[in-house]
């Protein structure tokens, strides 16, 4: 069984150049999709123009590239047997300046849930175990995979610790492949496991609990585990979002509710919901994560349901208008099934993958300030990111839109995907003056 393999290590590739702007987690330095860069970002580019470098990836992943100083981290899979679907889970580190591979580790433990129909790298046709994004604090980088493997490496690729969340707390109860990304904040590592309470497709066990996990980032040991109950039913208990920190609170969406938790203990401080009255809808899995801005936190109900803005700093239980600032029930164009909204330049930007539009929204009122119809036939599901007055998002075919944050004008459409690219879902990372764009086959650094 392959636990670890160091391909090669060349510290001289790192150099002494230091980048001020980094992208250390899935939603960037502010946990809201925005970059603090003061540099000009690319507007005109394609798969051959204004490319600093490109790297051929072993396999697809929805994970976002993570950038720290001179290092770029990506998770991936390598399918060894197309017929059986068996493959390796990989942790990759590239040199930011050249795109050269610095190290590659075989990160997978080989753990398989009770019944996965012979697939070693995924449980459904829409995702794979490498879909979560890595996370780094500049001291270590931590990779999580959908089979439960959680592995920490030093920046030079040496394994520090590993554990498997399914081995420790029971097999996951998800219909789809679990793909929440971990969160590193103030020296602690957080992971949500919001799952069904019954076996599904032969996986997991009846009576399974949803929980939040806090670990010591230096050794992986559990600091606290907090069960998070919900009255949701079946698939509506499932969430694929990420824990978003807001000061000393942790914000969690899933199981038909939005909750705030104490950073130190996991204790639930408040709860708002539900967007699913009487928990009638049983098939409302949640994908978007919460996003904070303008004194509120947004939560996107699934499918074609509304977006809700909830007050920050609540205490106790709230529902309906109690604790809510505004919602979009009277404006069906404002909805998001998969993408997490962006907060940038004191505005929310809500990307509707089902309505195919991007809207700039005032955080205090929910008023639409502009709305853009998105082009083409493919779904736009990459959570938008922004910097230098520009918004970047990508569709399933690997087409990248560059949009003015000021007026919603399309500045450019870049074809980055291959001829047969489909289901490309990675978000675009921004660091300094560069973009890091991941398609199914290639990682691009755009300058």
Write the pLDDT tens digit of every residue in 210-250.
999 999 999 999 999 999 999 999 999 999 999 999 999 99
Helices (H), 204-344: none
- Give the separation between CA 163 and CA 107, rounded to whole angstroms: 11
What is the structure's pLDDT at 123? 66
The whole-angstrom separation of Cα 370 and Cα 16 is 44
Q: Using one digit for the tens of pLDDT, what is the confidence trace for 104-158?
A: 999 999 887 765 554 556 666 678 899 999 999 999 999 999 999 999 999 999 9
Q: Which long-range contacts (CB under 8 A, 24 or more apart) does 376-379 make?
A: 378/422, 379/353
Half-sphere exposure of 198 (CA within 13 A, CB side): 6
Contacts of 419 (CB under 8 A, 6+ apart): none
Three-state helix/strand/coil letters over 112-142: CCCCCCCCCCCCCCCCCCCCCCCEECCCEEE
Per-residue model confidence (pLDDT) at position 112:
78
3-state secondary structure of 250: strand
Q: How far apart are CA 18 and CA 36, in angstroms?
A: 16
Sorted by where each starts, the structural domains of the chain and their CATH numbers stand as 11-446 (2.130.10.10)
pTM, to two decimals: 0.93
Higher pLDDT, 44 or 122: 44
């Amino acid at each position: 069984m392959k636990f670890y393999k160091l391909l090669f290590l060349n510290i001289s590739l790192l150099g002494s150049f230091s980048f001020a702007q980094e992208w250390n987690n899935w939603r960037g330095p502010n946990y809201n999709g925005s970059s603090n860069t003061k540099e000009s970002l690319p507007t005109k580019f394609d798969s051959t123009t204004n490319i600093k470098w490109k790297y051929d990836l072993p396999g697809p992943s929805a994970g976002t590239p993570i950038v720290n100083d001179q290092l770029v981290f990506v998770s991936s899979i390598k399918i060894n047997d197309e017929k059986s679907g068996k493959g390796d889970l990989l942790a990759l580190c590239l040199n930011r300046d050249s795109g050269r591979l610095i190290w590659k580790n075989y990160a997978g433990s080989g753990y398989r849930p009770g019944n996965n129909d012979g697939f070693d790298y995924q449980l459904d046709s829409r995702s794979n175990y490498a879909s979560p994004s890595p996370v780094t604090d500049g001291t270590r980088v931590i990779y999580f995979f959908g089979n439960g493997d959680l592995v920490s490496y030093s920046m030079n690729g040496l394994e520090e610790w590993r554990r498997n969340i399914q081995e420790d707390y029971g097999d996951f109860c998800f219909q789809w492949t679990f793909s929440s990304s971990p969160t590193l904040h103030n020296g602690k590592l957080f992971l949500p496991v919001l799952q069904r309470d019954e076996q599904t497709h032969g996986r997991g066990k009846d009576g399974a609990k949803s929980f939040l996990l806090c670990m010591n980032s230096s050794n992986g040991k559990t600091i606290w585990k907090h069960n998070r109950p919900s009255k949701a039913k079946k698939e509506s208990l499932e969430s694929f979002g990420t824990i978003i920190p807001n000061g000393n609170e942790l914000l969690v969406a899933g199981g038909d509710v939005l909750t705030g938790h104490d950073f130190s203990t996991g204790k639930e401080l408040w709860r708002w919901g539900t967007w699913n009255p009487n928990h009638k809808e049983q098939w409302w899995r949640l994908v978007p994560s919460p996003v904070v801005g303008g004194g509120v936190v947004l939560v996107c109900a699934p499918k074609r349901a509304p977006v809700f803005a909830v007050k920050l700093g609540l205490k106790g239980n709230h529902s309906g208008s109690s604790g809510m600032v505004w919602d979009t029930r009277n404006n069906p164009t404002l909805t998001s099934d998969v993408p997490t909204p962006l907060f940038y330049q004191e505005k929310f930007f809500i990307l509707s993958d089902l309505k195919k539009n991007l809207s700039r929204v005032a955080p205090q009122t929910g008023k639409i300030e502009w709305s853009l119809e998105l082009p083409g036939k493919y779904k736009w599901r990459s959570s938008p990111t922004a910097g230098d007055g520009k918004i970047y998002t990508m569709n399933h075919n690997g087409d990248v839109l560059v949009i003015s944050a000021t007026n919603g004008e399309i500045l450019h459409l870049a074809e980055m995907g291959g001829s047969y690219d489909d289901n490309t879902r990675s978000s675009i990372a921004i660091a300094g003056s560069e973009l890091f764009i991941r398609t199914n086959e290639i990682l691009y650094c755009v300058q």
